[in-house]
Amino acid sequence: IDLQNKKKILNLKIYNSIVLQMGKLSRDRRDIYYRRAKQEGFRARSAYKLIQIDEKYNIFDKVTRAVDLCAAPGSWSQVLSTKLLNNSEYNEGQPKETDQIDSNNGEAPLIVAVDLQEMAPIYGVNIIKGDITSQLTVSRILEYFQGKKADLVLCDGSPDVTGLHDIDEYIQNQLLVSSLSITSKIMRKGGTFVAKIFRGENISRIYQQMFCYFELVDCCKPESSRNSSLEAFIVCRYFKFDDQDSTNVNFEIPDPLTVPFISCGDLSEYDPDKTYETEYTSSLEPIQPPINAPYH
């Protein structure tokens, strides 16, 4: 390569680097939760959605066994670690014997995170690289819980959004059905299930499925979730079955079906759709870059 072409390549690399940095800085300024997550040590802004759901529903109360499905990069698992283990170190290490013990039954909280992608370690979290539709994953979770079942199952997973709402809603619903299927095998009677949904014209079918398995079903929108997004979260409480047997499920749901739609979080806090004036001159690096990302 001659000298002139080398200069062109170098200038192009410098230009791309500047554009990338400007893009990161623009998002830091535009999305207050995106920057706040990096400032406070969370791997993704979605951590605040779970925190705000808990503020409304107190979902961590009396929980000793929790599962985070589709967990990567791990922000919800970080919240679980913080809430259940009183942990302020978000990323590495394992709990000590002196960590929080549940006052109700003397058991130390156990947390499992499951994802097809690799995850960096999180304090007190047992990470399983596996498929939530696989029986092997079910067995590994129950083995870690020593045969006992989960009090709480979370799923913040979603496909890559296409922008075609009908397609996005359909794919998300299929993921939700898969997460419900594994939940029915690993959850104790009375447990709680929280998962992401995309609201669309077929959402009532999802509600009907959830009522087959749970006594109470709410739909909620955390304050940190953008108003412009179809995203919401379904909070299902009081799982109906001890040892799940599909033949015992009553699929006759009363009509009409009413599901409360709840706003979670302090409405006087930051607006995720608003651009705030800041004095930031540089962007913050991600807390945990992807490990072996499927694409770049």
Which residue numbers are catalytic? 196
Neighbours of 19 (CB within 10 A): 10
Residue 165 in 3-state DSSP?
helix
Q: Are 48 and 37 in contact (CB under 8 A)?
A: yes
Helical packing angle, 32-39 and 47-57, nearest 10°: 90
Neighbours of 99 (CB within 10 A): 15
| Burial of 22 (C-beta count, 10 Å sphere; 0-12/13-18/19+) | exposed
Alpha-carbon span 72 to 291, nearest angstrom? 10
Task: Identify the residue whose tokens are 């400007």.
Answer: 22
**What does the CA dihedral 177, 183, 184, 190 come to, rounded to 10 degrees?**
-120
Which has the closest alpha carbon to 71: 114, 121, 132, 112?
A: 114
> Mind giving me the DSSP string for 223-290?
TTS-TTS-EEEEEEEEE--SS--GGG------SS----EEEES-TTS--TTSPPP----SPPPPSSPP
